[in-house]
Amino acid sequence: MTLEKGKVQNILVMGKSGAGKQPRIDVLVDEFGLEQLSTGNIFRDYLGQYTAIGFEGDIAQFFDEARDAFVADDEIRAGLGDKLTGHDADGVLLGLKAKYFMESGKFVPDSITNALFESFFARSGYKGMVLDGYPRTPDQSAFLQGLVEGKGTKLDAIVLVDGENDAIVARTIGRRICPDCKKVFHLEFKPPRDGKLCTECGAEVILRSDDSEEKIKSRLQEFQDKAVPAMDALTAKGIPVATVPGNLPVFTDEAVRASVMEALEKL
């Protein structure tokens, strides 16, 4: 089975955090004329819709701790009142719910992630996407499959960006970012000036808290515990997997493109 340009509806890109998914996503977007749909972007979009209404009350009032669930949507709408005028109420409510979980530091439940995803995905008619960061759990996997089947679209393939844990940890903890201009460096591959200063603006570069060894290892463990079974559930349904190496002997745009397209041709 070769993926034909123009006929591909959706491709999932999976891989450990730090494996190098983005350069592969760029290739797929370009080669197949698809759009990238990332969990991070979806959250930002809906949080933005909520923020835009300018509600100043405490959103925790809409969460019923005793039941561990939100109150009914009608009740939330009533609570937001005329702030909703001129806005898409469904989008605002999704944004409010996502914000509640993120602000309270609670784990965002699959039901919220799935609902955000379904709403955003609907805008494209459930096709034409390179999905990134979703599905990340077996429940999300099952939801996504039901969604595309119900809408008459399909998941064409999974592109798995492969990488060894040790190499990913080593690469990630060498990363540094400029706190002022956000330029990204790497102590080994793209060193800052004198080992610590931004070459752009001279500020002292820092290690992002997300790039600490502890955080990376916990993300790698989560990938193993949840994303691997999520992927297994999809392959069991016959969705083919093209594995591409995260590390290439020569890392150029052409080499990345060739490695992705070769892996897809072998499906």
Q: Which residues bind Zn ion (CB under 5 A)?
A: 178, 180-181, 183, 198, 200-201, 203
- Between CA 23 and CA 25 the distance in angstroms is 5
Judged by CB, which is closer to Zn ion: 57, or 195? 195
Judged by CB, which is closer to Zn ion: 142, or 203? 203
Closest by CA to 97, choosing from 48, 50, 44, is 50
Judged by CB, which is closer to Zn ion: 33, or 195? 195
> Minimum CB separation from Zn ion for residue 203, in Å?
5
- Between CA 139 and CA 243 the distance in angstroms is 23
> Minimum CB separation from Zn ion for residue 196, in Å?
12
Judged by CB, which is closer to Zn ion: 44, or 193? 193
- Between CA 215 and CA 198 the distance in angstroms is 24
* Pairing assessment for the beta strands 175-177 and 63-64 based on DSSP bridges: unpaired
> Minimum CB separation from Zn ion for residue 23, in Å?
23
Judged by CB, which is closer to Zn ion: 90, or 200? 200
- Between CA 165 and CA 221 the distance in angstroms is 10
Q: Are 242 and 157 in contact (CB under 8 A)?
A: yes
Judged by CB, which is closer to Zn ion: 198, or 242? 198
* Distance (Å) of CA 64 to CA 46, 60, 67: 22, 8, 6
- Between CA 87 and CA 75 the distance in angstroms is 17
> Minimum CB separation from Zn ion for residue 186, in Å?
15
Closest by CA to 245, choosing from 178, 163, 187, is 163
> Minimum CB separation from Zn ion for residue 204, in Å?
9
